Structure 1
Amino acid sequence: MAGILIVAHAPLATALRECIAHIYGGLPARIGVIDVMPDCDPPEVIAFAYAEIERLREDNGALVLTDVFGATPANIATRLATLPDVRVLAGVNLPMLVRAVCYRATPLDTLVDKALAGATKGIHTIAPGTPVPVAAKVDPVECLPVQPPGAAPV
């Protein structure tokens, strides 16, 4: 199962991890966070990020999710993209992270595709009268969404 590292402006990385713990009723293994502080020392954070990737990486690699492309957290995460079996995605949102957690047992390139799809499919305009879909429940053992009857697959 791929490890996941979230590198974002503080406190976003920790907040996203806490959302995953809430959704799954506990924190799945091998999910790390780095909250980048405004006064951080980038070389120090980069060294810590390398250590975190080594701790989190599994047989199928690791996925690094960061927030704003071009900002300090993304620039730190970009350094990790040079490592074998590590992929980096910018623009993290909760649907992207949920999808990444659900599909982290897949090959790394498939995981990247699923995470990107989750990010974009999770964005909707909600107008008055928009029907509210029934939320999918998540099976924490399989880490795959369990769809309510009649719901479209994730």
Structure 2
Amino acid sequence: MAGILIIAHAPLATALRDCVAHIYGGLPARIGALDVLPDSDPAKVVAEANSEIERLREENGALVLTDMFGATPSNIAARLATVPNVRVLAGVNLPMLVRAVCYRACELDTLVDKALAGASKGVQTIGPATPPPATNDCGCAPTPCAEAACEAASGKFKPAGA
């Protein structure tokens, strides 16, 4: 399973890692965050990033996600791209990170493709021109949780203990 290291302007890396912990009900193993402060010494942060990669890297490598291409965190992350079995992606967003966590058991190149797809598919226009999501007969969005809530509300489904 690939390790994941997020390197971003403070406090974004830690915030994204905390979001993953929130979504999964706890932080999955081998996910690190490195916040780059405005006055950080880049050489020290590069050393810390190398140390984190060694700690997080698994049998199929590690994925480094950084926020903005060309900025200091991205330049630090780029130094890790030369480490064997490490891939670096810029433009991290929460859908990219969640997709990366979901697919980190894949081969590293497949993981990169899945993370990139998550990033781009996660960017959507929401507004009056956006077609509404598909719904079930009861008007709920077609997700397991929504379907269960719909069935419980309609009386078709009795939750355990009810």
TM beyond 0.5:
yes
**Higher normalized strand content (fraction of residues):** 1
**Equivalent residues in 2 for 1:5-154, closer than 5 Å:** 5-128=5-128, 130=130, 131-132=132-133, 134=141
Q: Aligned partners of 2:111 and 2:20: how far apart in 1?
A: 17
Residue aligning to 2:157: none
Q: Structure 1's 135 and 13: CA in aligned 2 closer, same or farther, altered over 3 A?
A: farther
Secondary structure of the corresponding residue to residue 48 of structure 2: helix
What count of residue pairs does the alignment treat as equivalent?
140
For 1:81, what is the secondary structure of its paired residue? helix
Distance 1:38 1:135, change over 3 A: farther
- TM-score, structure 1 as length reference: 0.86
Q: Counterpart of 1:26 in structure 2: which amino acid?
A: G
Q: Which residue of 2 aligns with 1:3?
A: 3
Gapped runs of 5+ residues in structure 1? 138-145, 150-154
Q: Distance in 2 between matches of 1:122 and 1:129?
A: 17
Q: Residue 136 and residue 21 in structure 1: after superposition, are their counterparts in 2 closer, same or farther (change >3 A)? A: farther
Aligned sequence identity (%): 75
Which of structures 1 and 2 has the bigger CA Rg? 2
Could you tell me how far 1:136 is from its partner in structure 2? 5.7
Give the equivalent residue in structure 2 for 1:143.
none
In structure 1, distance between residues paired with 2:39 and 2:86: 27
Q: CA deviation at 1:129?
A: 6.8
In structure 1, the partner of 2:159 is none
Cα separation, 2, equivalents of 1:40 and 1:136: 44
- Structure 1: distance between partners of 2:61 and 2:39: 30
CA RMSD of aligned residues (A): 1.9
Letter in 2 for 1:14: T
> Residues of 1 paired with 2:110 and 2:54: CA distance?
21
Q: TM-score, normalised by structure 2?
A: 0.82
Greater relative CO (CA pairs within 8 A, separation 6+): 1
Relative to structure 1, the CA distance from residue 135 to residue 19 in structure 2 (aligned partners, 3 Å threshold; closer, same or farther) is: farther
User: 1:92 is paired with a residue of what secondary structure?
Assistant: coil
Q: Which amino acid aligns with 2:89?
A: L
